[in-house]
Structure 1
Amino acid sequence: MQVVEQYTTPYYKHILSLPPSSIRKLWKLNKITLVDVRTPEEYEDHHIPGSILMPLDYLDTLSKFLPDTDVAVICEHGNRALYATYGMPHIYKKRAIHMQYGMVGWMAMGYEVASGIDENGKKWMRLLDSVE
Protein backbone atom coordinates (compact mmCIF):
# COMPACT_ATOMS: atom_id res chain seq x y z
CA MET A 1 0.00 0.00 0.00
CA GLN A 2 1.28 3.45 -0.89
CA VAL A 3 0.99 6.23 1.69
CA VAL A 4 0.74 9.77 0.38
CA GLU A 5 2.41 12.12 2.85
CA GLN A 6 2.02 15.31 0.87
CA TYR A 7 0.03 16.51 -2.07
CA THR A 8 0.68 19.37 -4.41
CA THR A 9 -0.99 20.48 -7.59
CA PRO A 10 0.89 21.20 -10.81
CA TYR A 11 -0.95 24.52 -11.08
CA TYR A 12 0.19 25.95 -7.74
CA LYS A 13 3.71 24.76 -6.97
CA HIS A 14 3.82 26.86 -3.78
CA ILE A 15 0.85 25.10 -2.16
CA LEU A 16 0.97 21.79 -0.30
CA SER A 17 -1.46 19.70 1.71
CA LEU A 18 0.11 17.98 4.72
CA PRO A 19 -1.22 15.97 7.68
CA PRO A 20 -1.06 17.35 11.22
CA SER A 21 2.04 15.26 12.04
CA SER A 22 4.07 16.96 9.29
CA ILE A 23 2.74 20.41 10.26
CA ARG A 24 3.74 19.79 13.86
CA LYS A 25 7.29 18.79 12.86
CA LEU A 26 7.71 21.98 10.81
CA TRP A 27 6.17 24.06 13.61
CA LYS A 28 8.49 22.58 16.25
CA LEU A 29 11.48 23.40 14.01
CA ASN A 30 10.21 27.02 13.65
CA LYS A 31 10.01 26.63 9.86
CA ILE A 32 6.39 27.76 9.47
CA THR A 33 3.87 30.22 10.85
CA LEU A 34 0.48 28.81 11.84
CA VAL A 35 -2.49 30.84 10.59
CA ASP A 36 -5.91 29.91 11.97
CA VAL A 37 -8.75 30.95 9.63
CA ARG A 38 -11.63 29.99 11.94
CA THR A 39 -13.96 32.35 13.78
CA PRO A 40 -12.84 34.07 16.99
CA GLU A 41 -15.30 31.89 18.94
CA GLU A 42 -13.74 28.70 17.57
CA TYR A 43 -10.24 30.03 18.27
CA GLU A 44 -11.24 30.90 21.84
CA ASP A 45 -12.60 27.39 22.39
CA HIS A 46 -9.41 25.64 21.21
CA HIS A 47 -6.37 26.50 19.09
CA ILE A 48 -2.76 25.54 18.55
CA PRO A 49 -0.53 27.56 20.89
CA GLY A 50 1.23 30.29 18.95
CA SER A 51 -1.14 30.19 15.98
CA ILE A 52 -2.28 33.55 14.60
CA LEU A 53 -6.01 34.11 14.16
CA MET A 54 -6.98 35.61 10.79
CA PRO A 55 -10.67 34.80 10.20
CA LEU A 56 -11.35 33.63 6.66
CA ASP A 57 -13.79 36.51 6.02
CA TYR A 58 -10.92 39.00 6.54
CA LEU A 59 -8.00 36.97 5.21
CA ASP A 60 -7.84 38.68 1.82
CA THR A 61 -7.78 42.11 3.49
CA LEU A 62 -5.22 41.09 6.11
CA SER A 63 -2.99 39.07 3.78
CA LYS A 64 -0.46 41.90 3.48
CA PHE A 65 0.31 41.35 7.17
CA LEU A 66 1.15 37.67 6.69
CA PRO A 67 4.75 36.90 7.62
CA ASP A 68 7.34 36.38 4.90
CA THR A 69 7.65 32.69 5.80
CA ASP A 70 5.96 29.46 4.87
CA VAL A 71 2.44 29.49 6.29
CA ALA A 72 0.35 26.54 7.50
CA VAL A 73 -3.37 27.32 7.23
CA ILE A 74 -5.63 25.75 9.85
CA CYS A 75 -9.38 25.45 10.37
CA GLU A 76 -11.67 23.04 12.22
CA HIS A 77 -12.00 20.20 9.67
CA GLY A 78 -9.73 21.30 6.83
CA ASN A 79 -12.35 22.67 4.42
CA ARG A 80 -11.91 26.40 5.02
CA ALA A 81 -8.13 25.97 5.07
CA LEU A 82 -8.38 24.19 1.72
CA TYR A 83 -10.28 27.14 0.28
CA ALA A 84 -7.87 29.63 1.90
CA THR A 85 -4.88 27.97 0.24
CA TYR A 86 -6.06 26.66 -3.12
CA GLY A 87 -8.86 29.22 -3.59
CA MET A 88 -6.76 32.24 -2.61
CA PRO A 89 -3.24 31.40 -3.84
CA HIS A 90 -2.43 35.04 -4.60
CA ILE A 91 -2.29 36.11 -0.95
CA TYR A 92 0.72 34.08 0.18
CA LYS A 93 4.26 35.43 -0.02
CA LYS A 94 5.96 32.05 0.21
CA ARG A 95 4.68 28.49 0.44
CA ALA A 96 1.17 27.89 1.78
CA ILE A 97 0.40 24.59 3.45
CA HIS A 98 -3.14 23.31 3.93
CA MET A 99 -3.35 21.26 7.13
CA GLN A 100 -5.40 18.19 6.31
CA TYR A 101 -8.12 17.17 8.79
CA GLY A 102 -7.89 20.51 10.61
CA MET A 103 -8.04 20.90 14.36
CA VAL A 104 -10.05 17.70 14.59
CA GLY A 105 -7.08 15.76 13.22
CA TRP A 106 -4.62 17.72 15.36
CA MET A 107 -6.55 16.96 18.55
CA ALA A 108 -7.10 13.31 17.54
CA MET A 109 -3.31 12.96 17.46
CA GLY A 110 -3.14 14.33 21.03
CA TYR A 111 -1.07 17.39 20.11
CA GLU A 112 -0.88 20.68 22.04
CA VAL A 113 -4.08 22.72 22.35
CA ALA A 114 -4.75 25.97 24.18
CA SER A 115 -8.00 27.77 24.90
CA GLY A 116 -9.00 31.38 25.43
CA ILE A 117 -8.21 34.49 23.44
CA ASP A 118 -4.51 35.30 23.65
CA GLU A 119 -2.51 38.09 22.01
CA ASN A 120 -2.42 36.22 18.68
CA GLY A 121 -6.20 35.92 18.83
CA LYS A 122 -6.65 39.71 19.13
CA LYS A 123 -4.01 40.84 16.64
CA TRP A 124 -6.29 40.58 13.58
CA MET A 125 -8.72 43.19 14.96
CA ARG A 126 -5.94 45.77 15.42
CA LEU A 127 -4.60 45.03 11.94
CA LEU A 128 -8.08 45.42 10.49
CA ASP A 129 -8.42 48.84 12.19
CA SER A 130 -5.13 49.95 10.65
CA VAL A 131 -6.35 49.02 7.14
CA GLU A 132 -9.46 51.19 7.37
Structure 2
Amino acid sequence: MTREIDLDAFVSAWADGGLVLDVREPDEYHVGHVPGALPVPLAKLPTWADAPTDRPVYVICASGNRSLIAADLMHARGVDARSVAGGTRGWARAGHPLATGPHPH
Protein backbone atom coordinates (compact mmCIF):
# COMPACT_ATOMS: atom_id res chain seq x y z
CA MET A 1 0.00 0.00 0.00
CA THR A 2 1.35 3.38 -0.99
CA ARG A 3 1.97 6.04 1.52
CA GLU A 4 0.62 9.45 0.72
CA ILE A 5 2.21 12.58 2.13
CA ASP A 6 0.27 15.78 2.72
CA LEU A 7 1.46 19.05 1.26
CA ASP A 8 2.79 20.46 4.55
CA ALA A 9 4.96 17.41 5.19
CA PHE A 10 6.10 17.46 1.57
CA VAL A 11 7.16 21.11 1.86
CA SER A 12 9.45 20.12 4.75
CA ALA A 13 10.84 17.11 2.87
CA TRP A 14 11.46 19.26 -0.23
CA ALA A 15 13.16 21.98 1.83
CA ASP A 16 15.42 19.29 3.34
CA GLY A 17 16.51 18.18 -0.15
CA GLY A 18 14.14 15.25 -0.64
CA LEU A 19 14.17 13.55 -4.04
CA VAL A 20 11.09 14.65 -6.02
CA LEU A 21 9.93 12.77 -9.10
CA ASP A 22 7.40 14.45 -11.43
CA VAL A 23 5.45 11.83 -13.41
CA ARG A 24 3.48 14.21 -15.63
CA GLU A 25 3.93 14.48 -19.37
CA PRO A 26 6.77 16.71 -20.66
CA ASP A 27 4.46 19.53 -21.78
CA GLU A 28 2.90 19.69 -18.30
CA TYR A 29 6.31 19.63 -16.65
CA HIS A 30 7.65 22.44 -18.87
CA VAL A 31 4.77 24.77 -17.95
CA GLY A 32 5.54 24.57 -14.24
CA HIS A 33 7.03 22.09 -11.78
CA VAL A 34 8.36 21.92 -8.24
CA PRO A 35 11.94 23.22 -8.39
CA GLY A 36 14.36 20.32 -8.43
CA ALA A 37 11.76 17.72 -9.45
CA LEU A 38 13.10 15.14 -11.89
CA PRO A 39 10.88 14.55 -14.93
CA VAL A 40 10.02 10.88 -15.48
CA PRO A 41 6.63 10.51 -17.20
CA LEU A 42 4.45 7.75 -15.80
CA ALA A 43 4.64 5.76 -19.06
CA LYS A 44 8.45 5.64 -18.78
CA LEU A 45 8.56 4.81 -15.08
CA PRO A 46 8.64 1.00 -15.51
CA THR A 47 11.95 1.29 -17.38
CA TRP A 48 13.47 4.03 -15.18
CA ALA A 49 16.46 2.40 -13.54
CA ASP A 50 17.64 5.23 -11.28
CA ALA A 51 15.12 4.86 -8.47
CA PRO A 52 17.01 4.86 -5.17
CA THR A 53 16.19 2.31 -2.51
CA ASP A 54 18.11 4.04 0.28
CA ARG A 55 15.85 7.07 0.80
CA PRO A 56 12.26 8.19 0.23
CA VAL A 57 11.14 9.38 -3.17
CA TYR A 58 8.36 11.97 -3.31
CA VAL A 59 6.23 11.40 -6.39
CA ILE A 60 4.16 14.28 -7.74
CA CYS A 61 1.80 14.85 -10.67
CA ALA A 62 -0.89 17.45 -11.34
CA SER A 63 -3.36 16.45 -8.64
CA GLY A 64 -2.22 13.23 -6.97
CA ASN A 65 -3.83 10.54 -9.13
CA ARG A 66 -0.92 9.55 -11.38
CA SER A 67 1.50 9.89 -8.51
CA LEU A 68 -0.46 7.26 -6.54
CA ILE A 69 -0.12 4.84 -9.45
CA ALA A 70 3.57 5.66 -9.83
CA ALA A 71 4.25 5.29 -6.12
CA ASP A 72 2.56 1.86 -6.15
CA LEU A 73 4.76 0.77 -9.08
CA MET A 74 7.87 2.00 -7.32
CA HIS A 75 6.89 0.46 -4.00
CA ALA A 76 6.60 -2.91 -5.76
CA ARG A 77 10.25 -2.43 -6.83
CA GLY A 78 11.39 -1.82 -3.26
CA VAL A 79 11.38 1.98 -3.35
CA ASP A 80 10.03 4.00 -0.42
CA ALA A 81 7.79 6.09 -2.68
CA ARG A 82 5.33 8.61 -1.29
CA SER A 83 2.62 10.25 -3.38
CA VAL A 84 2.19 13.99 -2.82
CA ALA A 85 -1.47 14.73 -2.05
CA GLY A 86 -2.79 17.66 -4.06
CA GLY A 87 0.06 17.48 -6.55
CA THR A 88 1.61 20.42 -8.36
CA ARG A 89 -1.72 22.25 -8.40
CA GLY A 90 -1.87 22.15 -4.61
CA TRP A 91 1.76 23.24 -4.41
CA ALA A 92 1.10 26.26 -6.65
CA ARG A 93 -2.20 27.16 -4.91
CA ALA A 94 -0.34 27.26 -1.61
CA GLY A 95 1.98 29.90 -3.07
CA HIS A 96 5.11 27.79 -3.47
CA PRO A 97 7.51 28.50 -6.35
CA LEU A 98 7.33 26.82 -9.73
CA ALA A 99 10.20 26.32 -12.14
CA THR A 100 9.55 26.25 -15.88
CA GLY A 101 11.19 24.61 -18.84
CA PRO A 102 12.61 21.16 -19.43
CA HIS A 103 15.15 21.15 -16.59
CA PRO A 104 14.61 20.54 -12.84
CA HIS A 105 15.75 24.04 -11.77
Tell me the TM-score normalised to structure 2 length.
0.89
Aligned to 2:3: 16
Give aligned pairs, total. 104
Please tell me whether residue 26 in structure 1 is matched to residue 26 in structure 2: no
2:55 aligned with 1:78: no
Residue aligning to 1:126: none
Give the share of equivalent positions with the same residue, in percent.
Answer: 32
| TM-fit CA distance, 1:18 | 1.2
**Structure 2: 5+ residue stretches without partners:** none
Displacement of 1:27 in angstroms is 1.2
Which aligned runs of 4 or more in structure 1 are off by greater than 6 angstroms?
A: none
Structure 1 residue 86, shift from structure 2 partner: 2.6
Residues 10-51 of structure 1: per-residue CA shift (max 9 Å, x gap): xx3xx4211122111011112x20000000000000001100
Matched, 1:101 2:92: no
Report the TM-score, using the length of structure 1 for normalisation.
0.72
* RMSD (Å), alpha carbons: 1.7
Please tell me the residue identity of whatever aligns with 1:106.
W
- Structure holding more helix per residue: 1
8 A contact 1:20–1:101 mirrored in 2: yes
* Structure 1 residues not aligned, in runs of 5+: 1-11, 122-132
1:42 to 28, 34, 38: 28
Aligned to 2:99: 114
Q: CA deviation at 1:112?
A: 1.4
Does 2:76 match 1:90?
Answer: yes
* Equivalent-residue separation in structure 2 for 1:92 and 1:114 (angstroms): 30
Computing the radius of gyration from Cα coordinates, the structure with the larger value is: 1
The aligned amino acid for 2:86 is Y
